[in-house]
Amino acid sequence: MDFILELDKKRQRIDQALLKYMPKCMSSYDKIIYEAMEYSLMAGGKRLRPILMLQAFEICGGNNISDIEAFMVSMEMIHTYSLIHDDLPAMDNDDYRRGKLTCHKKYGEDIGILAGDGLLNTAYEIMIKSCLEEQNNTMVQQKLKALEQIGNAAGVSGMIGGQVVDVLNNAEMNLDMINYINIHKTSAIIEASLISGAILANANIDEVERFRKIGRCLGIAFQIQDDILDIVSTTEELGKQVGSDSKNGKATYVALKGLQESKLIVDELISNALDKLQKFNSSKAIFLDELILHLKDRKK
């Protein structure tokens, strides 16, 4: 398997689905909000969360991508909304994302806020519609369970709760608080991507929980790697301004543990995720195995 080629195919498939589900403007009056939503949604990105959802779905026996396409698209919309809001002046106050001007820098802070709101609301509209249109009663229950997981992960008990603590982040923060941020702000959505993919494939409880643990390892490792890249990468390579954490006076894992120990922790978390993945003993897990290793060595 050519991993990079396969990864590009999956990203292209997701990009096509995003355009398919992106709501169409029906009036010239509010045209700008649709432009801003699509601008951020289609600005590139790893498409990691929908890919993780798809891989968990296939590993657990799912074989019809149309069963989960709406949920894959919705997860990417939720992720993009979080990035738009994270970049706002009241949050991280960043000028660039994925190598382009952030939404609020291009369209203004007011439209940036509304574009994030629009993507979040659209995501739930898409998932609810998918549930209502489903003819298979078993699949309806699976979709509702997946929707519950995604809602919890994106809400105050997940990503929003983590973002609250991140906003309050200062140099006096301890490791427990930083772990709380990493688990809730970053890991929760990554966990939910894997969990919902498994649920949509009608996985058993053990399989769902195994993916929850894989997601936790991967999510925390992903955030620590982000903190590392904020120090060692360049703006051109990362696609956004480096040194943002230092600029905003934020305490991070790297600030508390140091660069080398943080790298070792990432290696350990990735190793734990791969060990848990091997227990599925499925040929469908090969791509996810490669993807996890690819994320460990990512440059952006």
Do residues 149 and 192 touch, judged by C-beta distance below 8 A? yes
Predicted local confidence at residue 239, as pLDDT:
64
Predicted local confidence at residue 246, as pLDDT:
62
Confidence band for 231, pLDDT divided at 50, 70 and 90: confident
pLDDT of 201 over the 80 cut: yes
Distances in whole angstroms, Cα of residue 243 to Cα of each of 27, 230, 255: 41, 5, 12
pLDDT of 252 over the 90 cut: no
Do residues 80 and 44 touch, judged by C-beta distance below 8 A? no
Domains of the chain by start residue, with CATH: 3-296 (1.10.600.10)
170 Ramachandran zone, left/alpha/beta (phi>0; psi -120 to 50): beta
State pLDDT tens for residues 91-125. 989 999 988 999 999 999 999 999 999 999 999 99
Residue-averaged pLDDT of the chain: 93
State pLDDT tens for residues 125-178. 999 999 999 999 999 999 999 999 999 999 999 999 999 998 887 767 888 999
pLDDT of 45 over the 70 cut: yes
Do residues 36 and 106 touch, judged by C-beta distance below 8 A? yes
How far is 259 from 155, CA to CA, in rounded Å?
31
pTM, 2 dp: 0.94
State pLDDT tens for residues 3-32. 999 999 999 999 999 999 999 998 999 999
pLDDT of 291 over the 90 cut: yes
